[in-house]
Structure 1
């Protein structure tokens, strides 16, 4: 049975959602599932905008058949070649022998790398600025390399002012019947997953996102149609501003995220005491995370959201606690920058984690490490809480509360 939504009178959402998948890219937890969006334009010529993951193939093919009502599919526009959006290319070539695959040079190359599909005489190459007339609808192609793969492009439909954005403006989370952003409480229910999606999937490529945002600024856009998550038809500027801030690596909020690793609870205690004292100093936006039980994708999202971080780690085999080392590696890989950081180190005989965390942070851009590092030897003592913790808290609070 088909499951289709009208985006406009002649443009249809024909995608599907997967609530069974536990890990996106076999890496990121998705307890709310994920949607795979695909859109079909009905006109003198019909055009399908991307396909879906193989896990939802049956629903997807039934949706297309329902919209076409026995008609032909003329074009498949491939904006992005990740398998969760292109898995059905081969099947569609078989089902619709008239169909042409529309993509750029890199797109066609990647199709041949992934699949054994016979594309002889069935491709239409496009580049930046090219158009494809469907009748009343005309697609304009906008390249978006490294947002977040090199072949990525977007398509702007000029009649209804729709921008098909590939993975940009996407989010984790299955669609629960509601398709549009104004049908859900996006800021409460969806923003954390949108932030986590952007920061972990696209976060490394801020400069490339800025380039695309500048291109989009010249377009009159009525809807953003991403490949994951809700379609945006209202308050577009709010979400675009989020992307602008994230891609500039500017903190989303004046906030402190305390992230600690702890073997026996002593480093945890130091982190929690610090958080409590920050609250007494007037800081209200504080979150505390055990990095051993919090997925690193959530920690990265918080590093993008918050202006200030407190990193607390024991010394482990003369080095960093492995979970803290992994977090710092991910922060560097995903271009986290421009944050103010307080450090807490622990060690029973040779504390070294503070020096190692500092060295890792110095490998990132524009990171300010506050002085002094709070050094704990085995466990935090009352007199140390009064002196060293107080000193660190005053430095963090002064920085957060500064204009």
Structure 2
């Protein structure tokens, strides 16, 4: 695939993976992106997962013909991108490896060598001339590993953005960027909002026509306004949508009934509302929706003087990713000693700028007139 007349796509699609990073469901697979910049010198931008080494090296050889690469730029050492570096270095012994100092330390750990005899160590502001194209290196620590660099090509105004601006899904599957980019960002990068904000400030100083990330499609100028706005909202922990996620766990169905009754009441009041059963939905999608919406309702039974395990896991995912700047409400159930609201409040006490609804719904076993009145009051409060 030609990105510009000098830049070619040589990445691969993975439809063998079921859980990306061992935890994220990827029904449409994953893309591991790699690019060639063909100038007086040839630069390969990143490698691919080790399962696809042969396919990747064959693509490079076919694209270059009689030429050989002068440089391999390693922006990120996570194995889905660095898994073929050692094989590439063996196949092209004359190629110089370009990476950050920390990346070379990681190569020593992964490959047993830091390529001391054939490397260029780069840092913020360093450049690499290829001919017409000059590569400018931008450090991006903790987006989302400490060694990450991004690379700006000043000739074609392309930002090679490492994992930033990527998404779940292989490139041979048509789907919109936003939903899977949101799930990808919140799940993988969500903890590092401050660092992403710092990188966005650096990107704002560049004249970018195209973004080439390590996952997902090539993004062109007409898309970049929406993409950057989404990243700015996510990394600043601002709600993306005014509305409510009702996240619930239930044992015998009574808590589920209360959660769904509330969701329906909110919809009737014109509030965009999604209800998700944490035992049955994709947990990463539920977490992404919690960050998407401005308000969150947590509904769960008391369980062993605590909360139901799926709810406990969900709240852990939220707090681990710095959940903040939202309104939170509780529905608790307890046949004899309802404690869930108290436990959930305690779990969230480290989260910044949370506003708690004045109404807490307490169900004692099954809904009755009192708890139904509380549901109505909570619907009124959340719709204001």
TM bucket (normalised to shorter chain) is: over 0.9
Work out the CA distance in 1 between the residues paired with 2:288 and 2:37.
Answer: 35
The CA distance in 2 between the partners of 1:48 and 1:19, in whole Å, is 24
2:147 is the counterpart of 1:151: yes
Q: Structure 1 residues 116, 18: closer, same or farther in 2, change over 3 A?
A: same
Name the residue aligned to 1:267: 255
Q: What is the match of residue 379 of structure 1?
A: 366
1:23 maps onto 2:19 in alignment: yes
- Unaligned stretches of 5+ in structure 1? 178-183, 399-403
Aligned to 1:180: none
SS at match of 1:246: helix
SS of aligned partner of 1:6: coil
1:58-79 per-residue CA deviation (whole Å, 9 max, x = no partner) reads 2211110111103111101011
Of stretches 344-353 and 363-372 in structure 1, the one that deviates more from structure 2 is 363-372
Offset from partner CA, 1:226-254 (integer Å, 9 cap, x none): 00000011321110111011111001010
TM-score by length of 2: 0.98
CA distance in 2 between counterparts of 1:175 and 1:118 reads 32
Q: Quick check: 1:315–1:352 contact (8 Å CA) kept in 2? A: yes
Q: Distance in 2 between matches of 1:112 and 1:384?
A: 61
In the alignment, what sits opposite 1:254?
A: 242
- In the aligned structure 2, how far is the partner of 1:238 from the partner of 1:278? 28
Aligned equivalents of 2:371 and 2:99: distance in 1? 63
Report what 1:307 is aligned to.
294
Residue of structure 2 equivalent to 1:401: none
Q: Does 1:335 align with 2:322?
A: yes
- Cα separation, 1, equivalents of 2:189 and 2:276: 23
Query: d(CA) in 2 for partners of 1:148 and 1:382?
Result: 50
Work out whether residues 246 and 275 of structure 2, in 8 Å CA contact, stay in contact via their aligned partners in 1. yes
SS at match of 2:167: coil
> Pairwise CA RMSD of aligned residues?
1.2
Which of 290, 295, 299 is equivalent to 2:282? 295
Displacement of 1:280: 2.5
- Give the alignment's TM-score, normalised by structure 1: 0.93
Aligned residue pairs total: 383
Rounded Cα–Cα distance in structure 1 between residues aligned with 2:262 and 2:339: 20
- Structure 2's unaligned 5+ residue stretches are none
- After TM superposition, the structure 1 stretch with the greater mean CA deviation from structure 2, 149-158 or 57-66, is 57-66
SS in 1 for 2:36: strand
